[in-house]
A and B are shown apart, each in its own frame.
Chain A
Amino acid sequence: MRKWILPITFVCIISGLLLALQFKIQASQTPTPTEQRNEILVGIINNLENEISTYQQRIAEIKAEIETIEDVTASYQDDIKYLQQKVQKAKLQAGLTNVKGRGIRITLDDNKSGLLLAPNDDPNRYIIHYENILNIITELKLGRAEAISVNGQRIVSTSEIRCVGNVILVNTTRLAPPFEIKAIGDPDRLEEILLAGEYDLLKSTGFPVSYEKFTEETPLEIPAYTGTFQFNYTTLN
């Protein structure tokens, strides 16, 4: 009975050894379902990480692009500022902005009391005509007025001053007396030229006219021209 123990034990040891080795090979060779799943998950994670890194690269690229654009705009900033200033100046010259400043305000009205005193006289002699306003505005321009308005209508290069029946048309807007002419400029110079021209004539013929000078502290406000400039026949030469 005793003699078989040792050989069989020996063979058993070898079988155990071989079994364990083979098991190890097999374990490393074919992954279990869990391991396969893990591998799939690891693959997914790796893919996502790759994706993240590509997106991060893209973000970095876009950031660099933004920076270059910002640099470019910074270099254009001065040009833009210069052009904006030019535009602002051009708008001021064209009368497209609200302005304020020192100046003079003239009020003209029909000579109603004079007409009452002389009912048989020609009434045309007692009302303000468009020529009166036109003359005053021309004189104001001569006095280097920088901005002029009549009853809130800004006088620009295309503004007309024309009699239409018993009203006056300025910027295609009908105006009725009393007329209020505002002009921004040197008040003293404007006053001087006013008193030597049409205004003085009206005053001497009994029209109820008056003027008021405005200083820096209480500036005169003149609104912008609200119409449009149309050039249908004019092109740049």
Chain B
Amino acid sequence: MSNTPNNTFCHRTRREFLWQAGAGFASLGLIDLLSRDGFLASQAVAADGVTPFKPSAGNPLFPRQPHFAPKAKSVIFLFMYGGPSHVDTFDHKPELYKLDGKTIQVKTKGRGGSKNEGRVVGPKWNFKPYGQCGKMVSDLFPHIASCVDDIAFIHSMTADSPIHGSAMLQMNSGKILSGSPCMGSWVNYGLGSLNQNLPGFVVMLDPTGGPISGAKNWSSGYMPAVYQGTILRSAGDPILDLEPQPGVNRAMQRELLDTLGAYNQQHQLARIDNSNLAARIASYELAYRMQSSAPEAVDVDSEPEEVKELYGLNEKRTNNFGRRCLLARRLVERGVRFVQLYSGGNHNDANWDAHGDLVKNHSYHAGNTDKPIAGLLKDLKRTGLLESTLVVWGGEFGRQPTAEYKEGTGRDHNAYGFTMWMAGGGIKGGVSVGETDELGSAAVKDRFAVKHLHATVLYQLGLDPDRLSYFHSGLQQRLVGVEGADPIRQIVA
């Protein structure tokens, strides 16, 4: 197919344009839509001024054809910031209980450096089999456990860094270095947005604050800012600057926009060839529409009681994350491509970073999120949305089987092996791939890197991870790196 999404728009140089001239955009049959929005414009041009593009290339967020028929349309990434312990959640290690308190030889690398031995902290929760697949899940997640037949667990994840800063960047952008676009940016770049009245890449933060490195975790890096994540609040004004100032109502703003439009059209008359001017006029109309569509999209209170109950909105503990999960469903329902929710924020025990008291930390965070996440999965399934929505769960790494300090149950970071899971969007349910060793210290069977996870997300969305590229700094850059990566085929339905 010749419709590789590539950065033919927003190109900074002719070279970047020519680079993909062979690829180009297929005619998308969306020109009608564009015309309706007045978006017949090459609106994202820098160095080169006025390169005329095919209309579809005009709006950087306009829907584009994937490489092949997609299984999923949207992604909800439930980011367990800080790094949940896999051996206490989904990676059942019966042998580890018996070793509790014993000092053993095991290679680890974390915040506290590289070690060759450590005191085992036995898993602090019991595991039970659930569902038809009989998946063993710890008592931390009784609700999620009830959904295991829809979930594919990847127990053999590995990351390149056991340090939060670089590992967070890798999980979000594929690189442990600062400066690359995040997965949500890639997805919107590759596919465009299905709803021009809402941002295509939405981030919802924990009430305790953002993750470390803040906005770098939803940055569009070297791509235009139009692809960066937008922070959406679950209470109050959902999006920054959505509401007119106090004292100004919508009718007044309409007057303003009409008059503004009249001035702008007059200005445009003598410059009719400059489509950027038309695009800017259209962007104000879109903004106006966003003001009504965004509040509608985030109106969680309009949901039926039983739905609120399903997400745990009626319990203090789960209200916050539940609200955000429900919002996530409402957003993907309305065509938002990529929604990222953070469980945990700030530092230390405000997230899953259980260096001190493992039981306290994980009980808290699991307890806040278990019911909402299960609610989300059930609600997506009930509404049929699960088929086209890919849900991803996990942190930037896992945790070590051994204790970090002389005393206590705290575990240090572990990038040698950890668990993530996916559900919906054409992912097989009730399966588990990969294994860590019997301690859970490192992935030993069917090992996967972060890029394989990313490749799987892109693949389910109909994008070839090896072909989705963006020309920058003399190279075709990819989310999965220049070597490319295969999706995790074992979990693809």
Real binding pair: no
Q: Which chain A residues have a beta carbon within 8 Å of chain B's beta carbons?
A: none
Q: Which chain B residues have a beta carbon within 8 Å of chain A's beta carbons?
A: none
